[in-house]
Every structure is written in structure tokens, then in C-alpha cells.
Structure 1
Amino acid sequence: MARFKYSGRTRQGKKSGMISASSRREAMQKLRDEGIRVVEMSEIAESLLTKDISIGNPVKLQHFVIYLRQFSTLLKAGVSVVEATSILAVQTDSKPLRKALLDVEQELKEGNPLSDATAKHRKIFSPMFINMIRAGEAGGNMDDTLDRLAEHFEKQHNTRQKIVSALAYPVVVGIIAIAVVIFLLVSVVPTFVDMFADFGGELPAITQFVLNSSKFMQKFWWLIVLMMLAFVVFIFMLRRNKQTKYYLDYFILRIPIFGKMLQKAVLARMTRTLSSLFTSSVPILQAMSIVENVVENEVIARVVRRSRDSLEKGQSLTDPMRAHWAFPPLITQMISIGEETGALDAMLGKVADFYEKEVENSTDRIKSLIEPLMIVVLAALVGTIVTSIMVPMFEIFNQVGNTQ
């Protein structure tokens, strides 16, 4: 669908903006139906320089949460879905979300339901959002559904921020450590090479190692850069294939310290999503399929798929979970109680609350442990290089002193 920029007049005065349509004639007709007499219209051309390029969802989670909260408030205030979408398209700070909402607005004006309109923008609106909106439309409680969606994504955002904050410190300190080591090897160590050459004799092993590393870094720095880029591309390719992604996700969950935290985060996301879908009356088999796609961990996703197949065959939902190491007894027991009492959504909500709290506690513990450890590692790296330079210098000073 093409986009057109227009300026025109209405009975109230001048008006300008953008509109989406399959052709210029259709755009003119839409504006005419809205009572706008077009004075000027031009198509907005999209090129590689102007087109939004993104990986994954291009809308930041906090922008999406704000959109949901505002949408719910407008509906509760009696504003129609079309008018609310139009208002939010102007107010949002996210360009991809604004573009999608403008298209959704046009779909709504043509009489299409919100769920179908948003389904045409699956990069922006997840399957969970679309199915919960569809359930809200059927039940006539759209504002409550939007509130539940906002709460769900807020909790998801908070959990993700906790993980990012826990991982950010070692990553930043690691980058600083690498930068310091490279600077010392490339800029500082070479200034002492001639001095050690004039000194003669056999250099200590640690000094020889540092000098060789410095020579290698100066000569083959481009090879190190290529290896780092190749590693990033390799990991990216692994994650694109479901089979290799499974082994990568398995390895991540088994990493000491960090693996447990990431496992709890994935389980919190899974149970929170299921709870939100069940509360919105989304059918359980459909809800399991959605969770399989949004859980972002192939190890957990495969167990969810087996649980769905088990349920479809009339067997227990929790049997595949009990047989897998990634699912603690707490989850299977709470789900079993929920199945028996008919309060599965509430039980899953409690499990999600527990694991979200566990993630928060884990990130706090990891940050308190990692901080002194990274300082020690950085000090050891710098200390090794400094020691390798100082040891032969002390020997030079001793020889000079003895000759005098």
C-alpha cells in the first residue's frame, strides 16, 4: 500500500497530512469522502535511505505500552476505536508505530475489525496482541483487554530491563578491558622494544609473551576484527536455524550463574503470556501455539509444543513438562492445581509473579558478585602487561648500579 502526502481544504480551513491507499485515485476518493478538497498531493517514495530497516519488532516496548495504556483510557472515555487510533497515530513518538496506526485507521474506516487491521502489521503487533484483541472484540470488553495487554508488556519490559542491567556491567567492563589491553599492546609496549633490544640477554618469559602479543596485534589487528565479526555472524546464523538455535539455547540455559537467571526469565515470560491469554478467553490450544512462538527459547518452545500435542490427544498438559529438566516442580504442580480447580489463569499469574521476583533477586545477586570479579580481571590484565615491562627494567637498573 502506497503512502501519499496531501494538503487541502475543508469547511473549517486548511488541512494537511498523510494517507495510505493502493493508488492516487483511491487516496483522492478517500479524502473526498472525508470532506477534504485536495489542493496538492504527492506520493512518498520509499528507498533504502528512507525506508525503516529493522530486525525483529521495530517498536520499543515502552512505546507500545504507552500506546496500550492511552488506547484503553480513550476507549473508557467513550472515544471510538477509529478516533482513538487517529489520535494515537499523531501522539506516538515511534515512527514505525505511527505508520502502522495510520494504515490501521484506514482499515477501520473501511469497516474492518481492529484485529484484522493489526494482523496486517505482524512486525508491530504480535500474535498474542491480535488474538487477545479478537477475544476482546467478541466479548465486548476491549478496554479491559487493552489494560491486561499493557500490564503484560509492562511486566515483560521490567523483566527484560533487569536482565539487561545484569548483563550490561560485565559486557561494558569487558569492552573497556579489551580496549585498555589493545591500547597498551599497540601504543605503550612498542616504546620499550628498542630499550630491551639494547639491553640484550634473555628476557623473562612473561615479557617475551607480551612483546610477541604486541607484534601480532600490530601486524594482524585486521584478522582479530574479522574474527570478531565472523563470530557475530556465526551466532546470528545459528539463531536463524531452529535446529542449531535449540543447541545454542540449551547451552545458554546451562551457563553457570547466568543460565539459571535466563531460565527463570523465560519461564516467567511463558507463564505470564499463558495467564494473559487464558484471562482473555483465548482457546487453550491456540494459546499454547502463541506461547511457542513468543517464548524466544527453542528448548522451552519444544516442551510447550509437546504439551500442546499431549493436550490435543486428551492427555495431561503437564506430563511433557514433568519429564523435562527446564521445568521445576513448582510450575507443573501449580498448573495441575489450576487444571483441577478451573483457575489455570490465576495459578499461572502467581507462578509468573514468583519467577519475575526471582529474576529481580538473581540480577541483584549477580551484579554484586560480578562487579568485584570484573575489577580483579581488569587489574590482572593490566598488571600482567605492566609487570612484563617493569621486571626487565629493574634488571637494567641493577646492572647499571653494579657497573658504577
Structure 2
Amino acid sequence: MARFKYSGRDRKGKSQGTIIAASKREAMVKLRDDGIRVIEINELPETLLTKEITIGKPVKLQHFVIYLRQFSTLIKAGVSIVEATSILAFQTGSKALKKALLNVEQELREGNPLSEAVSNHKKIFPPMFINMVRAGEVSGNLDETLERLADHFEKQHFTRQKIVSAIAYPLVVGIIAIMVVIFLLVAVVPTFVTMFADMGGELPAITRFVLAVSGFMQSFWWLVVIIVTLFIVFITALNSNNGTKYYLDVILLKMPIFGNLLQKAALARMVRTLSSLFSSSVPILQAMSIVEKVVENEVLARVIQESRDSLEKGRSMTEPMQKHWAFPPLVTQMIAIGEETGALDAMLSKIAEFYEKEVEAGTDRLKSLIEPLMIVVLAGLVGTIVLAIMVPMFSMFDQFQQMNQ
């Protein structure tokens, strides 16, 4: 939302002040509804106190997918682009998307094309959307382009959700396991320390180990917090720099169990994007540049850049891919066939469908395997602590029985 300073007239005479709205047009509508005839209105610059702080992407993918599907439906139903944009601006659940659409509507009413209007909001609308809309305007098939975009982002959202669900389960169970272990070590185990001290004699090795860990957690818990925080900051810093992100992506793609799944998801996203761009008549070199920016994997991005350079030199785009370990033979061979037959978009679409199904099957299989494994790990951790407490207590019980005899 933005702040606007206005001056005008109401029933009492002159009126001036500030108003908060998503766009200049919305501000004027609000003032008019309040009975104020606007003479002058200007947007105030953002300050640290008024600026909206967003974490992550301004618009969630699911909101963008809903917008695209509804936009495509309205255009096909004969609604004008301006009216469709106005309708969707007030229906979307995303504040950032609403603000952008209201500004886009204002530019459309001033006579600017849709591609130019959305290009002024690159944080909201991805490069692929902007370029495909521009191609749709030139070809006169904007409704088909929007439908293709909706299909593309829906499939991307589905694949991403599958990956997130596969990774989220072990992550959540792991965090719960760590919290349970910390609780036992900090709150439960210390209550038995005095009892064990009164026993005298030598404690079992497993009990001494658990007591030592418990003592460390009680005395140096702040050190653990600092180490975890520094680790998160370190990984975030690595991921924000393209140079270090490359090595981080290499580690992720070669990681056991999850690496293969992440590789297939990244390849599916890459070829799906290329297929959608080619189908919308976006020039191949421009399409490669767009894919390089949106692939979200620095390993694949560098190979795509090499493939684009290869095309510029008149060679095949598959040459750099064939030499790289991240591209299986299936991908390079089918792309090569598509180049030779002139059906590259169709071949890319088939590759994307194949890997999207592989990701879906892989995530389902992974969750079914990880669930019992995580239960065993959690039971092992808790069982070790319980065993460390129970073994000395059994020894005390034996001593008590011997004394009574």
C-alpha cells in the first residue's frame, strides 16, 4: 500500500490530508466516496516506517496461478483486458499483487500495452510472463498465451509442492525429535543426578555419556543457539551469492536420497519453461536467457548459458549439456531430436511430463520410506536416554533387595 497527499474540496470547503491506498486511482475513488472532490493528489515517497517489509517473494506462486487462470478465463469470455485487470485486482488474496494490478490497470487506461504495464513491476511478474505476454500481443493470441502460462505455473506449483512435502516431513519430525531430546536432557535427566551421586560406585558408560551431554546442554545452551544461528546465516549468505550458490547447488544435487529428486525437479522446471516459451514464439536465444534467470539452480543456469553461447556460434544447444553430469542422456538426446525435426517445443514438453511424473512418484516413494526410518531414529534417541536412566535404577533395586535379604 502507498500513501498519497491530496488537496480538494468537500461540503465544508477546502480539504487536505493523506490517504493510504494501493494506487492513485483507488485513492481518488476513496476520496470521492467520502465526498471530496480532488484537485491535486501525489504519492508520498516511502520511508523506513511506512515501507512494507516482505520476506521471500512478494507474491506466492499459488496466488499467481489463480490470477493467471482467472485472467485467461475472463479474456476468453470476451471481457476486455482493462476490466479483467480491475476485477482481478479486487479478488486476489495477495496485497502485493493487488497493488501491482491496480497500477497496471491505470497504465492500461492510459493506452499502454499489457506487456509494457507489467514490465514496470518485475518483482511481481516474472520475466517469462512478461515476454510471453509480449509475444501473445504480437501474434494476437493473448488468450491462448495466458492459458498456456496458467498451465505452466500450475504444473510448476504442483511439482514444487511435491518437493516441499517430501522434504518437510523429515524436517518437521527431525525438529520434533531434537526438541524432545533437549527437553529430556535439560528437564528430566538432571532430576536423577543427585540420586545417582548418592548411589556411589561407577555408573554405566551409557549413563555417564547422557549425564555429560545433559550437563553440557545446561551450561552451554547459548553456545548451541549461536552455532545454529551462525549456520543458518552462513547458508543464507552462500545461497545469495551466485559464485558460492553454484557449489551449494552441486552439493544439493549430489546429496544422497534427495539429490536425484532435486535434479529431476530442476530439469522438469527448466524444460517446461523452455517448452512454454517456444510454444509462444519467443526467440530461442531470448528464451534461453529467460530460463537461465528462472531455473533457480546455478549448476543448470551455467550450462544453459553455455548452450546459448553455442547457439550463437551456430552449433547445437545440446553440446554443452552432453558434457555435463547434471543432464541425463534422455534430456540431451530428445532435445537433439527436437532440434533436427523442428519439434523442439513438443520434445521439451514430453521431457517435462516425464520428469514431473518421476518427481511425483519419487516423492511418494521417499515419504513411505522415510516415515518408518524417522520413527526408528526418534525411538532410538529417546530409548537411549531412558535406558541410561533405567540401568542404574535397576542396579539400585538389586542392591536394595540384597540388603533386605
Same fold flag (TM > 0.5):
yes
1:174-323 matches, cutoff 5 A: 174-323=174-323
Q: CA deviation at 1:44?
A: 7.3
The 1:269–1:108 alpha-carbon spacing in structure 2 relative to 1, beyond 3 Å, is same
Q: CA deviation at 1:41?
A: 7.0
Opposite residue 80 of structure 1, the aligned amino acid is S
Listed one character per residue, the Cα deviations across residues 307-358 of structure 1 (whole Å, up to 9, x for unaligned) are 0100110011101101111111111111111111111001100000000000
C-alpha distance in structure 2 between counterparts of 1:154 and 1:320, whole Å:
30
C-alpha distance in structure 2 between counterparts of 1:202 and 1:254, whole Å:
46
For the 8 Å contact 2:3–2:20, the answer to whether it is kept is no
The 1:146–1:3 alpha-carbon spacing in structure 2 relative to 1, beyond 3 Å, is farther
Aligned to 2:108: 108
Listed one character per residue, the Cα deviations across residues 129-184 of structure 1 (whole Å, up to 9, x for unaligned) are 00001101111111111000000000000000111111111011101100100110
Opposite residue 283 of structure 1, the aligned amino acid is P
Aligned to 2:172: 172
Opposite residue 384 of structure 1, the aligned amino acid is T
Listed one character per residue, the Cα deviations across residues 383-404 of structure 1 (whole Å, up to 9, x for unaligned) are 1100111111111111111111
C-alpha distance in structure 2 between counterparts of 1:383 and 1:28, whole Å:
66
C-alpha distance in structure 1 between counterparts of 2:59 and 2:264, whole Å:
25
Listed one character per residue, the Cα deviations across residues 184-203 of structure 1 (whole Å, up to 9, x for unaligned) are 00110000000001011111
Listed one character per residue, the Cα deviations across residues 362-389 of structure 1 (whole Å, up to 9, x for unaligned) are 0011001100100010001001100111
C-alpha distance in structure 2 between counterparts of 1:49 and 1:402, whole Å:
74
Opposite residue 23 of structure 2, the aligned amino acid is S
Q: TM-score, normalised by structure 1?
A: 0.91
The SS at the match of 2:203 is coil
Taking only aligned residues, the RMSD between alpha carbons, in angstroms, comes to 2.5
Percent identity over the alignment? Answer: 74
Aligned to 1:12: none
Aligned to 2:139: 139
Q: CA deviation at 1:119?
A: 1.1
The 1:2–1:196 alpha-carbon spacing in structure 2 relative to 1, beyond 3 Å, is closer
The 1:40–1:110 alpha-carbon spacing in structure 2 relative to 1, beyond 3 Å, is closer
Listed one character per residue, the Cα deviations across residues 281-332 of structure 1 (whole Å, up to 9, x for unaligned) are 0000000011111111111111111001001100111011011111111111
C-alpha distance in structure 2 between counterparts of 1:5 and 1:90, whole Å:
23
Aligned to 2:383: 383
For the 8 Å contact 1:127–1:290, the answer to whether it is kept is yes
1:41-190 matches, cutoff 5 A: 48=48, 51-190=51-190
C-alpha distance in structure 1 between counterparts of 2:267 and 2:347, whole Å:
14
Q: CA deviation at 1:122?
A: 1.1
The 1:387–1:8 alpha-carbon spacing in structure 2 relative to 1, beyond 3 Å, is farther
* Number of residue-to-residue matches in the alignment: 390
- Answering whether residue 306 of structure 2 is matched by residue 338 of structure 1, we say no
C-alpha distance in structure 2 between counterparts of 1:17 and 1:106, whole Å:
17
For the 8 Å contact 1:334–1:347, the answer to whether it is kept is yes
For the 8 Å contact 1:8–1:40, the answer to whether it is kept is no
Aligned to 2:15: none
List gaps (5 residues or longer) in structure 2: 11-18
Q: CA deviation at 1:37?
A: 3.8
The 1:197–1:49 alpha-carbon spacing in structure 2 relative to 1, beyond 3 Å, is farther
List gaps (5 residues or longer) in structure 1: 10-15
The 1:278–1:5 alpha-carbon spacing in structure 2 relative to 1, beyond 3 Å, is farther
The SS at the match of 1:325 is coil
Q: CA deviation at 1:57?
A: 2.3
Opposite residue 245 of structure 1, the aligned amino acid is K
For the 8 Å contact 1:5–1:19, the answer to whether it is kept is no
Q: TM-score, normalised by structure 2?
A: 0.91
For the 8 Å contact 2:22–2:99, the answer to whether it is kept is no
Opposite residue 298 of structure 1, the aligned amino acid is E
C-alpha distance in structure 1 between counterparts of 2:192 and 2:291, whole Å:
60
Opposite residue 143 of structure 1, the aligned amino acid is D
For the 8 Å contact 1:270–1:295, the answer to whether it is kept is yes
For the 8 Å contact 2:210–2:385, the answer to whether it is kept is yes
C-alpha distance in structure 1 between counterparts of 2:213 and 2:144, whole Å:
62
C-alpha distance in structure 2 between counterparts of 1:179 and 1:267, whole Å:
36
Aligned to 2:14: none
Q: CA deviation at 1:38?
A: 3.3
C-alpha distance in structure 2 between counterparts of 1:277 and 1:8, whole Å:
51
C-alpha distance in structure 1 between counterparts of 2:28 and 2:391, whole Å:
81
Between 1:134-143 and 1:70-79, the stretch displaced more is 70-79
Q: CA deviation at 1:43?
A: 6.1
Between 1:182-191 and 1:72-81, the stretch displaced more is 72-81
Q: CA deviation at 1:227?
A: 1.0
